Amino acid sequence: MAKTVKKYKKLIGGRRLNRSYGGDAFIFVILTIFGLFFAYPLVYSINNAFKPLNEIFLFPPMLWVRQPTLNNFQDLFVIMSKSWVTFSRYIFNTVFITAVGTVGLIIVASMGAFVVSKYKFPGSNAFFKIVIITLMFSGYVTAIPNYLVMAKLGWIDTYMSVIIPAFAMPIGFFLLKQFIDTIPNTLLEAAKVDGAMEWRIFLVIILPMIKPAWLTVMVFSVQALWNTQASNFIYSEQLKTLPYALSQIVMGGVARTGVGAAVTLFVMIVPLVTFILAQSNILQTMANSGIKE
């Protein structure tokens, strides 16, 4: 990110992008207001998970918890311990699907993006345009075709019905391809002159250089797979995911409002931590995804 900023400062002769300090202050205030606005639901959800029932039902609702308690989490684990399928099984299913799906997406999308970006073959531009078009389609639109394909392959009620489609997440391919476009071809040609084969170029040069991009893709993939219930494809209780099991708990009614708050925190904590750890790389990816040499 620092190199990108330095490059653009050089292009504009070292001048400030905004000459008005008052304008900078105004933008800072606006961004702070919007930041607080978007942070409010997150802070409220975290505090709700530690509130006793009498504080949860207060009106008007309070942002901060006054008497923090772990009863909501204790009730959650008591309910899950009485389930026919153990709580650890639901966790394993979700972690397995998320891990395998994310790693597979990064590998498949990186290889595909590398080929489309650096090796112009007949139909490469058309292929990339098709990928861009797929970004416009919601998962609800393709739900029926996806089910028919999974049924034809015999993957219904298996991990494959969730993991394999995750490999083809179009946003991953798009971001990686745009990032690889910024890598100069002269660098790859120099590697070939030194005797490096295609796989060595991909593993030793391309993958390390596009680390911000595939970390960004990892965040998107973890968020999507960790929160998936996969109820359209998986029917066996032994293969159900954690979000599905937790959603059934929340449906217990008003008496489980506190447990529902704990469920909300439990479901969002992993994507949130993943985003926090990779946020600098996400900014770098977005800054470079549309830049070409």
In a domain, 30, yes or no: no
In a domain, 231, yes or no: yes
In a domain, 66, yes or no: no
pLDDT in tens, the chain (293 residues): 445 445 544 444 444 555 577 777 888 888 888 888 888 888 888 888 888 877 777 778 778 888 888 888 887 777 777 777 777 788 888 889 999 999 999 999 998 888 888 887 888 788 888 888 888 877 778 888 888 988 999 888 889 988 998 898 888 888 888 888 888 888 888 888 888 788 888 888 888 888 888 888 888 888 888 888 888 888 888 888 888 877 777 776 666 777 778 877 877 887 777 777 766 666 555 555 544 44
Domain span at residue 173 reads 73-288
* Tens digits of residue pLDDT in 232-283: 888 888 888 888 877 777 776 666 777 778 877 877 887 777 777 766 666 5
In a domain, 65, yes or no: no
Q: What is the CATH number of the domain that holds 215?
A: 1.10.3720.10
Tally of domains within the chain:
1
* Tens digits of residue pLDDT in 106-132: 999 998 888 888 887 888 788 888 888
Q: Which residues contact 15 (CB under 8 A, 6 or more apart)?
A: 9
Record the pTM. 0.75
In a domain, 41, yes or no: no
In a domain, 176, yes or no: yes
